[in-house]
Structure 1
Amino acid sequence: MVQFLNFEKTNLIAAFLGGKISKEDVEKIHLLIHKILKTNQKVDFYFEMKDFHGYDLQGLWVDIKVDNSHLSDYGKMAFVGERKWQEWAAKATDFFTGSEVRYFDLKDKEQAKQWINL
């Protein structure tokens, strides 16, 4: 489940992630990516994960395809979570992209917002 947050930064996709991410959730994010790219800006992300359990199979497959086609379009990525595996996933994202990726514990979400310039 993706619940988008309303922030004023024009090149930022900010959302709460909970439960499992579906194909439809990824497609909604993909539409926002294209909207930002039309403004000739890199896409920044702020994902706050609470009770997040990853992706369903179709969601994972679509997310891999979206990320593969847009790796050079991403700027900063702030992952805010509550589980060690989420930190590892952020580190893997950092390894496979040219983006600046950081993981923050939920208790440090204000620091994450400051880092991503919210």
Structure 2
Amino acid sequence: MLATFDLAGHVIGLIIDKDLTDEMLQKIIGEIQEKLDVYEKINVFVELEKDRHITLKALFKGIKFKYSNAENFDKIAIVTDSAIFQNAVNLSDTFLDVEVRTFDLKDRLEAIQWISL
């Protein structure tokens, strides 16, 4: 399931409680696109709940989407205990002109504060 919430007008929050598959990623991209229809630049908070994983196909598709739309993102916060996901995000964002930070699940409040500014 995908739950969404707004932290501020330009900030979208996404909580994923299932494995992040290509199908789930399409839903996420749809939610982000809706926000981009209203705001030129947005911040994105993504939380992948405990013991959830991302498929390789979804990971690469998500990276492609980020690169294709980098000019529309100001900050991205990724909250997960998946070290593989965190490392992939950190590596893929080396060349983006977007502030991207990863947080452990226990630090979600810190992530919410950071993304809301």
Matches within 5 A, 1:72-91: 72-91=71-90
Single out whichever of 47-56 and 104-113 deviates more from structure 2.
47-56
**Unpaired runs of at least 5, structure 2:** none
Does 1:51 pair with 2:64?
no
Show CA shifts across 1:64-97 (max 9, x none).
4423321221111111111322331231243132
Please identify, of 28-37 and 45-54, the stretch whose mean Cα deviation from structure 2 is larger: 28-37
Report what 1:117 is aligned to.
116
Letter in 1 for 2:98: S
Shift of 1:56: 5.6
Cα RMSD, aligned residues only: 2.3
Q: How many residues align?
A: 116
For the residues of structure 2 that align with 1:33 and 1:62, how far apart are their CA atoms?
14
**Could you list the runs of 5+ residues in structure 1 that have no partner in the other structure?**
none
Question: Which sits farther off after the overlay, 70-79 or 38-47?
Answer: 38-47
In structure 2, C-alpha distance between the alignment counterparts of 1:46 and 1:80, rounded to whole Å: 8
The TM-score normalised by the length of structure 2 is: 0.78
1:47 is displaced (CA, Å) by: 1.2
Change (3 A) 1:23 1:83: closer
Aligned-residue sequence identity (percent) comes to 29
Using the TM superposition, give the Cα deviation of residue 8 of structure 1 relative to its aligned residue in structure 2, in angstroms: 4.3
Q: Distance in 2 between matches of 1:56 and 1:88?
A: 13
